[in-house]
Structure 1
Amino acid sequence: MPTVVPVKFSYAARELWFDWSGSGAQEGDHVICQTERGQEIGLAIADARKVTADELTDRIGEAELKCVLRVATPEDLDRAERLAQLSDDALPVFRRFAAEENLEMKPVGVEYLFDGEKVVCYFSADERVDFRQLVRDLSHELHQRIDMRQIGVREVAAVIGGYGHCGQELCCRRFGLSFEPVSIRMAKEQDLPLNSTKISGACGRLMCCLRYEFEAYKDFKGRAPKRNAVIETPLGTGKIVEYNTPKEEVSIRLENGKIVRIPLCDMTASDAARKKSEEFNCACRPDSVTREVLERLDSPDVQMALAELDRENGLIENDEPEINPDLFVKTPRTRRIRASRVSERAQDDAAETPSATTTSRRRRRHQAEDNETLQDDFSRTPHPTDTQKPKADRREKQRPAGKRFKKEAVVEEVPQEEGTRRVKRTRRPGDRGGIRQQSIQSESQEKRVRRPRRQHVAQESSPSEEQQNGTSRRRHHRGDRNLRKAEGENDSNV
């Protein structure tokens, strides 16, 4: 059985096996190996171990197993550092010549081999590229033998590195496994959205991790009930609506709309399901859930539903539990008292004294007299022949018309029954039957009732001396004018 040690190189997608051959290389050592291109320096990523002939054949096929020459010395490490600096300086030259030649390629890197025999230029391209002139220019500029190597987009991502959607380092860079084909069927089997931006990696191809869990999803769906399958439960029939493959759980929607998650291992298969699997020679899928499984669920809704089911079946007595009155304390409800009510209560308290009682009685008596006087004034309507009219009526006539009533007011006589006085009603355009006038009078009456003024009522009830004097003056003025007119006629006759 050969002893091999895995070694990782800079521009290799995965580690390569080399014959240990007593070199003493251990994990983490830099080693010098003999490859098909010459001597190269790499990193041992594991200790040496023995493998069988079958494992070796599966790994390298018919290729020859190369050996490890030695563990890298300090001088070898210094030389590798200088070659790495030359490789970094040669990459801009490679890109500049590729752009000048207008070649459809993407330069990836330049590597100086450890023995210095040649320089390897890595690039990626979708189609075959004629780079003969590019090789001549690079050889003339770098003074080295040039070897062009085309790699795929997945290998480019493995060489450059980066981070994926999960926030971890790219799988091809971290694991260095062989690239296996990935199809869109794997994404469908795992119920992933068929969106290219979500299932594609940094390289633009389908993510390599789609293949890692494909077998687990395929195995779980082969054992679990199919979607929309009918499941028998103590709470009625349910339907499979969702899978949770990492936890191996299925989501069941019950008749009341509640969704419960049941582990696949807790579900059972009925006799009808077993008989069907034997007839069609297929896997037996569970199709029922027992009561013990539902009782183990940490769901208050399910527990209440089971208790209600037992109550309907008569297993639980429907007795209301006794309530201890000491557990509940009723606090009296406090009512908010307005400030006006507080003042009224204070007045009532103060009115309990004899002096306050007499004062309040006098106030009530005066208010009753004022109210009776106001009611008599408003009920009495002036006669059209009267020369004196209340001030309220004159004020209403002098009031200018509003925006809506720009026309002149129309005064019409309202027919009354015999034996009653005729009342004039002032109507304005848009006023139906003097409703506006009546509303104004009622509002003014309410205001006067609230704040009675005795002097004003007295003035309205009897005409003042000044009004009487003014009337007499107008009469004397008319008499003087008639006398003057008569004297003028006499003069003209003479």
Structure 2
Amino acid sequence: MKLVYEVWQESGLRTDCLGIDNQKLKKNDAVILDFGAYKEYARVVNCRGELPIEADSESLPQILRRATLQDQNKANENHRFNRTSSQKAEKIIGKSNLDISMVDAHISFDRRRAVIRFLSPKRVDFRQLVRELASSLGMKIEMRQVGVRDVAKMRGGIGTCGRVLCCTSWIHEFQSVNVRMAKEQHLSLNNNIISGQCGRLKCCLAFEYEGYQLISEDMPLHGSKIMVRGQEARVLDTTLLNRSLLVRVKQDGRVMNVSREQLDDLVDSKDSACGDDCGADTSCSTDDCGSCGD
């Protein structure tokens, strides 16, 4: 029976691969993967279960075997070889006069292939550079241009929450994040607060966004006219998690906190425009903030 395993490669990538049940692999077991053109050393993260019938098994790498002591010794040697090869590649890239900054390099377990990741503000023609690197290192070269979020994922770090970066510890694919997510959660739009180590908007802005959207469905917008205990009022602010509102009563100008359940009715629709005299803070818009990031 074929099983699907999730493994963590030496290059820092998580990959799904195929194994068979009689291999009896467990979490943290070291294995050798066969990608066809090259082999990789990896560790098992978990077993996802039996391969679905409709799945394309040919697109997944195969687990050749559990890593032997000789394989583990070779993997340790590859770490040292990778460091010296990376230094050599960095010198060659530095002499190429291309607008490229090398992030890291990874050499496959069988030393047949090297993947070099780099940062560049624009597209680069590196064909000549690839030929020079292949001649110097004696292996196939693959150049991959990455973004600043990928660099943060590879290098790791500690976030402002005090935990390891989510992109390093468990996020496999980046989701689009925009400043509207921060606005609808009533977060400060200060770039220093809502930006991560990569300089882009924090991935965690998307984690609770759907929940805030559900909560806000029956909450009036800033500046909406509402009825509170038979009196007309304007919404100045809302606290979604507490489902409460800060309102100004039209009759006597009192400002008070009320819960959503205390509202009698909405006078205006939720899409009504905010008047100049409502007192709601509408100074910030998505277009004005300029903090939007992918």
For 1:227, the equivalent position in structure 2 comes to 222
Deviation digits for residues 241-272 of structure 1 (CA, Å, limit 9, x no counterpart): 33333x3422334658564363x5xx1664x6
> Aligned to 2:246, which of 241, 252, 258?
252
Whether the aligned pair in 1 keeps the contact of 2:238 and 2:246 (CA below 8 Å) is: no
C-alpha deviation, 1:200, in angstroms? 2.6
Report the counterpart of residue 111 of structure 2 in structure 1: 116
Structure 2 match to 1:68: 63
Write out per-residue CA displacement over residues 396-415 of structure 1, whole angstroms, 9 at most, x where no aligned residue: xxxxxxxxxxxxxxxxxxxx
CA distance in 2, matches of 1:241, 1:63: 59
Residue 86 (1) aligns with residue 81 (2):
yes
Task: Tell me the CA shift for residue 216 of structure 1.
Answer: 1.5
Q: Report SS of the residue matched to 2:162.
A: coil
1:69 offset after TM fit, Å?
Answer: 1.5
Q: Are the equivalent residues in 1 in contact too, given 2:228–2:263 (CA < 8 A)?
A: no
CA contact (8 A) 2:39 2:109 kept: yes
Q: CA deviation at 1:211?
A: 1.8
Deviations, residues 17-57 of structure 1 (Å, cap 9, x unaligned): 11231221111212211225521111211234236557x58
- 1:3–1:21 CA contact under 8 A, matched in 2: yes
CA contact (8 A) 2:5 2:44 kept: yes
Q: Distance in 2 between matches of 1:51 and 1:224?
A: 46
Match of 1:375?
none
Whether 1:77 and 2:107 are equivalent positions in the alignment is no
Q: Which position in structure 1 is the counterpart of 2:145?
A: 150
Q: Could you tell me whether the CA contact under 8 Å between 1:20 and 1:48 is conserved in 2? A: no
TM-score (norm 1): 0.48
- The verdict on how the C-alpha distance between 1:98 and 1:69 changes in structure 2, with shifts beyond 3 A counting, is same
Contact conserved, 1:220 with 1:248, CA < 8 A, in 2? no
Contact 1:238/1:252, CA 8 A, preserved across alignment? no
Asked if the contact 1:25–1:48 (Cα under 8 Å) also holds between the matched residues in 2, the reply is no
Query: 2:31 matched to 1:31?
Result: yes
Which segments of structure 1 move beyond 6 Å, counting only runs of 4 or more? none
Question: Which residue identity does 1:17 align to in structure 2?
Answer: D
Amino acid corresponding to residue 165 of structure 1 in structure 2: T
Name the CA distance, whole Å, in 2 between partners of 1:199 and 1:65: 38
Unaligned runs of 5+ in 2: 271-294
Deviations 1:95-153 (A, max 9, x none): 22222222111111121211222222221222222323433443343333333232232
| Structure 2 residue aligned with 1:368 | none
Aligned counterpart, 2:50: 50
Secondary structure of 2:46's partner? Answer: coil
Superposition deviation, residue 190 in structure 1: 2.4
Are the aligned partners of 1:123 and 1:150 in contact in 2 as well (CA < 8 Å)?
yes
Q: For residue 174 of structure 1, what is the aligned residue in structure 2? A: 169
- After the TM superposition, which residues 298-377 of structure 1 pair with which residues of structure 2 at under 5 Å, given as runs? none
User: Partner amino acid for 2:121?
Assistant: D
Summarize the Cα distance change of 1:75–1:93 in structure 2 as closer, same or farther, 3 Å threshold: same
Distance in 1 (CA, whole Å) between partners of 2:10 and 2:61 is 18
Q: Which has the higher strand share?
A: 2
Give distance in 2, aligned partners of 1:51 and 1:238.
60
**CA-atom RMSD in angstroms:** 3.2
**Partner Cα separation in structure 2 for residue 216 and residue 103 of structure 1:** 46
Q: Which amino acid aligns with 2:107?
A: Y
Distance 1:177 1:81 in 2: 26
* 1:83 CA drift (Å): 0.4
- Whole-Å separation in 1 of the counterparts to 2:141 and 2:120: 18
Partner of 1:139 in structure 2? Answer: 134
Q: Is the 8 A contact 1:231 1:240 kept in 2?
A: no
Compared CA separation, residues 169 and 243, structure 1 to 2 (3 A): farther
Q: Assess, with a 3 A threshold, how the Cα gap between structure 1 residues 72 and 231 changes in structure 2: closer, same or farther.
A: farther
Report the Cα offset of residue 79 of structure 1: 0.8
Partner SS state of residue 85, structure 1? helix
**Matched residue type, 1:206:** L
For residues 36 and 162 of structure 2, what CA distance do their matches in structure 1 show?
A: 37
Larger-gyration structure (1/2): 1
Q: Distance in 2 between matches of 1:257 and 1:9?
A: 63
Query: Partner residue of 2:182?
Result: 187
For 1:110 and 1:211, how far apart are their aligned partners in 2? Answer: 31
Q: Say yes or no: does 1:18 pair with 2:17.
A: yes
- Assess if the C-alpha contact under 8 Å between 1:10 and 1:159 holds in 2: no
CA distance in 1, matches of 2:171, 2:25: 21
Q: Distance in 1 between matches of 2:179 and 2:18?
A: 39
Partner SS, residue 169 of structure 1:
coil
In proportion to residue count, which structure has more helix? 1
Letter in 2 for 1:249: R
One-letter amino acid matched to 2:94: A
Residue 228 of structure 2 contacts residue 262 of structure 2 at CA under 8 Å; is this kept in 1? no
Amino acid corresponding to residue 232 of structure 1 in structure 2: V
Q: Number of residue pairs matched?
A: 265
Answer whether contact 1:240 1:253 (CA < 8 A) is retained.
Answer: yes
Cα distance in 2 for residues equivalent to 1:240 and 1:4: 54
Shift of 1:81: 0.9
Report what 1:5 is aligned to: 5
Q: What residue in structure 1 maps to residue 125 of structure 2?
A: 130
Secondary structure at the counterpart of residue 124 of structure 2: coil
Segments of structure 1 that go 5 or more residues without pairing to the other structure are: 283-494
Q: Distance in 1 between matches of 2:218 and 2:58?
A: 42
The separation in 2 between residues aligned to 1:203 and 1:169, in whole angstroms, is 14
